[in-house]
Amino acid sequence: MTEKNLKELFHDTLKDIYFAEKKILSALPKMAKAAQSSELRAAFEKHERETEEHVTRLEQVFADLDETPRGKTCDAILGIIAEGQEVMKEFKGKPALDAGLLAAAQAVEHYEIARYGTLKTWAAELGLTQSATLLETTLGEEKKTDEALTELAQSGVNQHAEAA
Q: Is 57 in the site for Fe ion (CB under 5 A)?
A: no
Q: Quick check: 134 and 39 in contact, CB under 8 A?
A: no
x-or-dash string of contact with Fe ion, 59-98, rule CB under 5 A: ----------------------------------------
In the chain, the N- to C-terminal Cα span, in Å, equals 55
Binding positions for Fe ion, 112-151, rule CB under 5 A: 112
C-beta closer to Fe ion: residue 22 or 161: 22
CB of 112 to Fe ion, least distance (A): 5
Q: How many CA atoms lie within 13 A of 148 on its CB side?
A: 17
Phi then psi dihedrals of residue 69, to 5 deg: -60, 125
> CA 29 to CA 133: how far, in whole Å?
28
C-beta closer to Fe ion: residue 91 or 107: 107
C-beta closer to Fe ion: residue 81 or 97: 81
Q: What is the per-residue burial (b if ≥16 Cβ within 10 Å, else e) of 123-153?
A: beebebeebbebbbebbebbbebbebbeebb
Q: Quick check: 28 and 47 in contact, CB under 8 A?
A: yes
Taking CB positions, which residue lies at the least distance from Fe ion?
54
C-beta closer to Fe ion: residue 37 or 51: 51
Look at residues 136, 124, 137, 27 and name the one whose alpha carbon lies nearest to residue 77.
Answer: 27
Q: Is 54 in the site for Fe ion (CB under 5 A)?
A: yes
Q: Is 22 in the site for Fe ion (CB under 5 A)?
A: no
CB of 21 to Fe ion, least distance (A): 5
C-beta closer to Fe ion: residue 46 or 160: 46
Q: Which residues bind Fe ion (CB under 5 A)?
A: 51, 54, 112
